[in-house]
Amino acid sequence: MTTAVQAYAPTAVSRASWFERATPGQALLIGAALFLLLAMLPTFLTMAIEVRTLNGINVWIKPAKFEFSVAVQFLTVAWFLQLLPPEQRASRLATGLCQTMAAVGILEIAYIALQASKGEASHFNSSTPLSLALYSLMGIGAITMLSISGWLGIMILRHGDSSKPFVSITGLSLIAGSLLGALTGIFMSMHHGHWVGGLHTDVGGLPTFGWSRSGGDLRVAHFFGMHIMQAVPIATWLTGFALPRSQLKAAGLMLLGAAILVAAGTFAQAVTGHPFIALG
């Protein structure tokens, strides 16, 4: 007699009436994310007629990238809030943190767009006391958004359904992604830039990402570290269709460990001045 082993499809977040059951905080983040995604259209249109460059590339490339990145961050928190019990998800604290995240993210994008409109850098800009102060505030805002994501990870581990492997892996991934994103971001700020050796220009960078191909680039580790909070839960969810539930948590932990090693490895690669992918 044989027993069939069924794969576990970890539908941790019900797909039915998701938006109907969203709390005010979740709805705000979803709306803010959609606003930023729509804002990419005029950004791309402006990019098409813009002739000014910064670090050798169009001044509107950075605003477009950050509009997409912050929108993804908003949607991540809105989605994973669904892993909390209703009373936690709808609490005044959760709603307040969603409001804080939305406000901070929109203000950060507004500042980056303002600097682009002037043809000036938003990051690592200490040319005037005002520029330095605004850059510092933007850094505080970025840490605030990552801290809220980390808080959500802790709350999921404390109050989520621990019997579901997807839930615990998501909580750990949010914490790891927040910590690594913050640490690599702070290191870049202390280093006063993302280049380590090589040519200090974004011209000829890796397609789509723009990472340096002539020297180390700290943005690589920042990207891989921060996006653990999305990549590992999604990979765990997909793995659940191929593995039995009893093996899914171990598989998720292995994926998380591998992702952390990738972030650490690319950081070591960058600080020693080696590009992620060298020039051919």
Host domain of residue 95: 21-160
Long-range contacts from 193-198, C-beta under 8 angstroms, 24+ separation:
193/124, 194/218, 194/219, 194/222, 196/270, 196/271, 196/272, 196/273, 197/273, 198/273, 198/275
Q: Does 99 fall in a domain? A: yes
User: What was the pLDDT predicted at 133?
Assistant: 94
Q: Does 8 fall in a domain? A: no
Q: Which residues pair with 180 in a beta bridge?
A: none
Q: Is 240 found in the same domain as 170?
A: yes
Q: Please say if the pLDDT value at position 278 is more than 90.
A: no
Q: Please say if the pLDDT value at position 3 is more than 90.
A: no
What's the CA gap between 47 and 109, in Å, rounded?
A: 16
Which secondary structure element, helix H or strand E, spans residue 78, and what is its range?
A: helix 61-80
Q: Is 275 found in the same domain as 247?
A: yes
* Number of structural domains the chain divides into: 2
Separation in Å, CA 73 to CA 42, 77, 176, 181, 190: 21, 6, 15, 12, 24
What's the residue count for the chain? 280
Q: Is 155 found in the same domain as 230?
A: no
User: What was the pLDDT predicted at 21?
Assistant: 77
CB 95 within 8 A of CB 24: yes
Q: Is 61 found in the same domain as 137?
A: yes
From 134, 160, 186, give the residue that closes a domain: 160
Separation in Å, CA 16 to CA 73, 155, 166, 167, 234: 23, 24, 18, 18, 19
Q: Is 253 found in the same domain as 183?
A: yes
φ and ψ at residue 220, rounded to 5 degrees: -65, -50
Average pLDDT, the chain: 91
Q: Is 145 found in the same domain as 78?
A: yes
At 4, the pLDDT band (50, 70, 90 cuts) reads: very low
In this prediction the pTM is 0.90
User: What was the pLDDT predicted at 280?
Assistant: 63
- Lowest mean pLDDT across 21-25, 42-46, 103-107, 165-169: 21-25
Count CB neighbours of 248 within 10 A.
22
Long-range contacts from 233-242, C-beta under 8 angstroms, 24+ separation:
233/80, 233/166, 233/169, 233/170, 233/173, 236/10, 236/165, 236/166, 236/169, 236/170, 237/10, 237/12, 237/166, 240/7, 240/8, 240/9, 240/10, 240/165, 240/166, 241/7, 241/8, 241/9, 242/7
- CATH number, domain at 69? 1.20.120
Q: Is 141 found in the same domain as 181?
A: no
Q: Is 143 found in the same domain as 28?
A: yes
CB 185 within 8 A of CB 143: yes
Q: Does 2 fall in a domain? A: no
pLDDT per residue as tens digits for the range 45-62: 999 999 999 999 999 999
Q: Quick one: average pLDDT of 187-192?
A: 94
